[in-house]
Amino acid sequence: MSSCYQGKLLRVNLTNGTISTESLNQEYAREYIGGRGLGTKMYCEEVGPNVAPLDPANNMYYLTGPLTGTGSPSSGRFMVITRGPLTNTIASSNSGGEFGAEMKFAGYDGFVIEGKSEKPVYLWIDNDKVEIKDASHIWGKEVPDTTDLLRTETSERAKISCIGPAGENLCKFACILNEMNRAAGRSGVGAVMGSKNLKAIAVKGNKPVYVANRDRFATAITEATKALKDNPVTGAGLKAYGTQILINILDQSNGLPVRNFRDSGTIEWADKTSGEYMIEHKNLVRNKGCFSCVIGCGRVTRTFKPYAGFGEGPEYEAGWGFGADCGISDIDAICQANFRCNELGIDAISMPTTIACAMELYESGYMPKEDAGCDLSFGNAAILKELVEKTAYREGIGNLLAEGSYRLAEHYGHAELSMSVKKQEMPAYEPRTLQGIGLEYATSNRGGCHVRGYMTSPEILGIPMKLDPAVTEGKAAVCKIFQDLTSAVDAAGFCLFTTFALDADIIAKVLSAGTGFEYTGEELMKCGERIWNLERVFNNACGFTGADDTLPPRILNEPQKNGAYKGSVNRLHEMLPEYYQLRGWNPSGVPTAEKMQDLNLKQL
């Protein structure tokens, strides 16, 4: 039977140089779909909870979703699944761009990378021909140079996934850049790649991607495309303004964290850092989309003196991070720092939030001036670029910044100033304003993260329903549904932004017609729930407990000082017990035997 899976995985062992292929396990594919789900399942089976993130035995799984590389709209994604050095949890980082589709065209659903090479290498995958090649001459190079050089060396048509100096230097939040500007961004997957001495993967292919039922698939993707085009967010807003448009609405809603979450959720100059301002100020050159995307939210941007540069982004979370979170109002400095993150291979959320933490440590007198090596006060735009570079090369204070905010703050005896969950920094939504996002952050399986549910959608944007951000009632149920849905969407290869317009039923139709496995919307949600629970079971086996499902003390205990939510803290205790109950977990956050059986899961 034809299907949109290629049915084949590539396995490369960098320790002994062996290269092999194997068939996709169809049973796993049915239950875990692909991408994040299948990768986590394979990781749990093959590696398990007893391998440290930077140990050569920590495998990396580059996995596409079944829809990746098909004509399905906005579904060209792939994921990198491994155990992450920032959090020590399972780390699944999602990326757009063109790389995922090219993996499929080369004939693979995924690559499994094992072991560690003695010297720097890269993989060159040209359809069935796979080589491990010397990368000594590109080790140390930044992402744009690496990408260009490898295209010259392999093929102009090759798609390149690589790390920058940050990954080589094992920065704990190094990312992997795909086609220069699309990142598998969070949790330090780039450091895992660096620890293997693997600089890059170049891939090219010309194989077809079939679907199980062409007519049904065509009908389903027509319906999905129409829904995406008719929706105000996916049909117009994201294309016109990109995600940086969120700055003003979060600011006006008093949900914009300011200066390491120290100040309340609004700042008078927010508009100067907004998506609207970037158009007015001529930062925006044009918009850009990933493979098969009908939304096209990406931004090609430029900046002006004294912060001149050219690149892509920032996404809202990075723009907020270098902006309001660092107390910086200069959009050119913000964009330039984001460009440097992409060029050096650093997560553009954990970088600025770690700098914001350093700024508070410095202003509070906990970090000595000699350590800082510069004026680390909030608002000092001139130091951003240098701090990003120092982090990538682990120079001076950068050596501590490269450990992430938690280890940095702990070093100075004030771990409470790290605005992180499970040691990963929380992004751009104030949990004392948005109660539900607090629950989402606390329970995310990879630490502080906004794409493990996206409660901002109902709490601020009113999609698909309008929930009052200030109330806790009912949030646990919605959070669980969003977490399960986004797990399935990640696994399928769809971009998460499609969920503004597509519900589980439409996604299930596309997936069924493509894969030949029949899913109802309900079954799709169950797959998502299975993925979520497997991640949880893995984290629990690594030693995480319910006590880790928490938020920084500031968010739980320090009331907001002014604004619409003056006096509020996050009331996690009102949501968490209900959330555990709805999940079928015991009061310590452990899935019950019945829940495990229901989802066909086993203890690790």
Q: Which is nearer to ligand SF4, 329 or 457 (CB)?
A: 457
Nearer to ligand SF4, 49 or 321 (CB): 321
Instruction: Give the residue ranges of DSSP H helices in 394-474.
Output: 398-401, 405-411, 435-443, 456
Contact code string over 400-439 relative to ligand SF4, x by CB under 6 A: ----------------------------------------
Which CB atom, from 54 or from 564, has the smaller least distance to other proteins? 564
How many residues are recorded in the chain?
Answer: 604
From other proteins, ligand SF4, none, which one binds at residue 293 (CB under 5 to 8 Å depending on kind)? ligand SF4
270-289 binders of ligand SF4 (CB under 6 A): 289
Min CB(192)–ligand SF4 separation in Å: 23
Q: Indicate left, alpha or beta for 358 from its phi (over 0: left) and psi (-120 to 50: alpha).
A: alpha
CB 514 within 8 A of CB 33: no
583, 591 contact by CB (below 8 A): yes
Q: What does 461 interact with, of other proteins, ligand SF4, none (CB < 5 to 8 A by kind)?
A: other proteins
Q: Write the burial class of residue 514 (CB in 10 Å: 0-12 exposed, 13-18 middle, 19+ buried).
A: buried
Distance CA 223, CA 227 (A): 6
Minimum distance between the CB of residue 314 and other proteins, rounded to whole angstroms? Answer: 11
Nearest residue (CB) to ligand SF4, 297 versus 333 = 297
What span, in angstroms and rounded, lies between the C-alpha atoms of 510 and 497?
Answer: 16
Looking only at the bridges linking them, the beta strands covering 121-126 and 198-204 are: parallel
In the complex, minimum distance from the CB of residue 244 to ligand SF4, in angstroms, rounded to a whole number = 12
| Residue number with CB closer to other proteins (219 or 225) | 225
Choices 16-24, 100-108, 156-164, 292-300; region in contact with ligand SF4 by CB under 6 A = 292-300
CB of 525 to other proteins, least distance (A): 21
The whole-angstrom separation of Cα 219 and Cα 210 is 15
Q: Does the protein bind ligand SF4 through residue 345 (CB under 6 A)? A: no
List 63, 293, 324, 341, residue binding ligand SF4 (CB under 6 A)? 293
For ligand SF4, the binding residue among 277, 497, 517, 544 (CB under 6 A) is 497
As measured in angstroms, the least distance from the Cβ of 296 to ligand SF4 is 5
Nearest-approach distance from CB 291 to ligand SF4, in angstroms: 8
484: Cα within 13 Å, side-chain hemisphere: 23
290 is an interface residue for ligand SF4 by CB under 6 A: yes
Shortest separation between residue 287's beta carbon and ligand SF4, angstroms: 8
**Binding partner of residue 276 among ligand SF4, other proteins, none, CB cut-off 5 to 8 Å per kind:** other proteins
Q: Which of 21, 3, 391 is nearest to 175 (CA)?
A: 391
Residue with smaller CB distance to ligand SF4, 111 or 316 = 316
Q: Provide, rounded to whole angstroms, the least separation between the CB of residue 179 and ligand SF4.
A: 11
Contacts 24+ apart (CB under 8 A), 394-403: 394/169, 394/171, 397/358, 397/371, 397/372, 397/373, 400/358, 400/371, 401/351, 401/354, 401/355, 401/358, 402/166, 402/169, 402/170, 402/171, 402/172, 402/173, 403/172
Site string for ligand SF4, 72-101 (x = CB under 6 A): --x---------------------x-----
Calpha distance 156→280 (Å, rounded): 36
Contact positions with ligand SF4 (CB under 6 A) in 209-238:
238
289 interacts with, out of ligand SF4, other proteins, none, CB within 5 to 8 A per kind: ligand SF4
What phi and psi values does residue 239 have, to the nearest 5 degrees?
-70, -45
Query: Taking CB within 5 to 8 Å according to partner kind, which of ligand SF4, other proteins, none is near residue 290?
Result: ligand SF4
Alpha-carbon distance of 350 to 354, in angstroms, equals 6
* Closer to ligand SF4 by Cβ: residue 296 or 584: 296
Selection from other proteins, ligand SF4, none that 490 binds (CB < 5 to 8 A by kind) is none
Q: Is the Cβ of residue 298 or residue 591 nearer to ligand SF4 in the bound state? A: 298
Binding flag, residue 108, ligand SF4 (CB under 6 A): no
DSSP letters, 198-219, are EEEEEEE-------S-HHHHHH
Nearer to other proteins among residue 313 and residue 516 (C-beta): 313
Q: Which helix (H) or strand (E) holds 80?
A: strand 78-83
Interface with ligand SF4 includes 66 (CB under 6 A)? no
- What the block records as the tokens of 96 is 């757009």
CB of 275 to other proteins, least distance (A): 8
Which of other proteins, ligand SF4, none does residue 254 bind (CB under 5 to 8 Å by kind)?
Answer: other proteins
What does the binding site for other proteins look like in residue numbers (CB under 8 A)?
232-234, 236-238, 240-241, 243-246, 248-249, 252-254, 266, 271, 275-276, 297, 315-317, 428, 450, 456-457, 460-463, 466, 468-470, 497, 500, 563-565
Place of tokens 């280890």: 407
Residues paired with residue 10 on neighbouring β-strands, in sequence order:
21, 111
Per-residue burial over 189-208, b if 16 or more Cβ lie within 10 Å, else e, is bbbbbbbbbbbbbbbbbeee
Residue 356 binds which of other proteins, ligand SF4, none (CB < 5-8 A, kind-dependent): none
Q: Tell me: does residue 502 bind ligand SF4 (CB under 6 A).
A: no
- Could you give the angle at which helices 475-492 and 572-583 cross, rounded to 10 degrees? 60
- Name the helix (H) or strand (E) containing 144: helix 143-153
Which phi and psi angles does 353 have, rounded to 5°?
Answer: -70, -30
Q: How far is CA 582 from CA 98, 218, 311, in A?
A: 38, 37, 44
Distance CA 90, CA 542 (A): 9
Output the 3-class SS for 270-296: HHHHCHHHHHHCCCEEEEECCCCCCCC
Selection from ligand SF4, other proteins, none that 33 binds (CB < 5 to 8 A by kind) is none
Q: Report 294-313 residues binding ligand SF4 (CB under 6 A).
A: 295-298
Distance in Å, CB of 127 to ligand SF4, minimum: 25
Binding site for ligand SF4 (CB under 6 A): 74, 96, 238, 289-290, 293, 295-298, 495, 497
